[in-house]
Chains A and B, each alone.
Chain A
Amino acid sequence: MNTFLHISPVTASILVTLLPLFACLAQALIGKKSISGNIALVAIIASTGISLFGVFLPIWNETTTLQKWAWFTIGEYTLEVGILLNNLTALMQLLVCIISLPVHIYSRAYMKSDEGIHRYWMYLSLFCFAMLGLTVSLNLLQLYIFWELVGFASYLLIGFWFTKETAVQANKKAFLVNRIGDIGFLIGIALVYAHCGTLDLSVLFNQTGTQIAIDKNATWVTFAGLAFFLGAMAKSAQFPLHVWLPDAMEGPTSVSSLIHAATMVAAGIFLLCTVFPLFNDTVLLVVCIIGTLTALSAAIFALGQHDIKKILAFSTISQLGFMMVGVGIGAWDAAMFHLTTHAFFKCLLFLCAGAVIHEMTHLKAKAKLDIDPQDLRHLGGLRHFMPKTFICMVVASLSLAGFPFTSGYLSKDSIVITAYEWANHLRGVYVLIPILLTIVSLLTAFYIGRLIFKTFFGDFKYRSYIDEGIIFHEAPSLMLVPMFFLAAGSLFPLFGISLTDYHSAWIMLTLDAGTNYPILAQAHLFIPILLTGGAILSWFMGWRWYVKQKYPLSENNRFVHFAYKQGYLNEFNEHIFVRGTTGLSRILYTFDRYVVDGFTKFFSWLVRQLSVVAYWFDKHIVDGIVNLLAGTMYYIGHLVRHVQNGQLQTYLGFALTIVVLGLLYLIIK
Chain B
Amino acid sequence: MITLTHFLVVSACIFCIGLYAVLAKRNTIMILVGIELMINAAILNFVAFGKYDKVNYGGQVFAIFAIVLAAAAVAVGLAIILNVYRHFNTINPQNIHELKD
Contacts and interface: CB of A to CB of B under 8 A. Distances in A.
Chains A and B touch each other in the complex, with CB atoms below 8 Å apart: yes
Interface of A: 641, 644-649, 652-653, 656
20 contacts: A641-B101, A644-B100, A644-B101, A645-B100, A646-B96, A646-B97, A646-B100, A647-B93, A647-B94, A647-B97, A647-B100, A648-B96, A649-B22, A649-B23, A649-B24, A649-B94, A652-B23, A653-B23, A656-B19, A656-B23
Nearest to A642: B101
A649 B101 contact: no
Contacts of B23: 649, 652-653, 656
B33 to A, nearest CB: 14
Interface centre among B22, B24, B94, B101 (most CB of A within 10 A): B101
Contacts of A648: 93, 96
Contacts of B96: 646, 648
Sorting the interface of chain B by its residue count into under 10, 10 to 19, 20 to 34 or 35 or more gives: 10 to 19
Contact of A649 (B93, B98, B100): B93
Q: Which 3 A-B pairs have the closest CB atoms?
A: A646-B100, A646-B97, A644-B101
Given A648-B96, A653-B23, 4 more contacts: A645-B100, A646-B96, A646-B98, A649-B93
B55 interface: no
Q: In the complex, which of the residues B19, B22, B99 has the most CB atoms of chain A within 10 Å of its own CB atom?
A: B22
Nearest to B98: A646
A22 B99 CA distance: 81
A653 B99 CA distance: 18
Contacts of A644: 100-101
Contacts, number: 28
Interface in B64-99: 93-94, 96-99
A646 B24 CA distance: 16
A645 B98 CA distance: 9
A636 to B, nearest CB: 14
A647 B92 CA distance: 10
Contacts of A641: 101
B99 A646 contact: yes
B29 to A, nearest CB: 13
Contacts of A652: 22-23
B84 to A, nearest CB: 11
Interface string B3-42: 0000000000000000100111000000000000000000
Nearest to B24: A649
A217 to B, nearest CB: 77
Nearest to B28: A648
Contacts of B22: 649, 652
Contacts of A645: 97, 100-101
A649 B97 CA distance: 11
B32 to A, nearest CB: 12
A374 B99 CA distance: 86
A648 B91 CA distance: 12
B51 to A, nearest CB: 27
Nearest to A640: B101
Contacts of B100: 644-647
A645 B23 CA distance: 15
A568 B23 CA distance: 118
Nearest to B25: A649
A655 to B, nearest CB: 11
A652 B24 CA distance: 10
A574 to B, nearest CB: 94
Contacts of A646: 96-101
B97 to A, nearest CB: 3
Contacts of B99: 646
Nearest to B97: A646
A653 B22 CA distance: 9
Contacts of B93: 647-649
A229 to B, nearest CB: 72
A656 to B, nearest CB: 7
Contacts of B19: 656
A652 B22 CA distance: 8
A84 B96 CA distance: 95
Interface string B42-76: 00000000000000000000000000000000000
A126 to B, nearest CB: 70
A649 B92 CA distance: 11
A646 B92 CA distance: 13
A196 B23 CA distance: 85
A652 B97 CA distance: 14
A656 B96 CA distance: 21
Contacts of B97: 645-647
A641 B24 CA distance: 22
Nearest to B19: A656
Contacts of B98: 646
A117 to B, nearest CB: 75
Contacts of B24: 649
A17 B94 CA distance: 94
A652 B19 CA distance: 10
A635 to B, nearest CB: 14
A647 B100 CA distance: 8
Nearest to B26: A649
A649 B26 CA distance: 9
A303 B19 CA distance: 104
Contacts of B94: 647, 649
Contacts of A649: 22-24, 93-94
A53 to B, nearest CB: 93
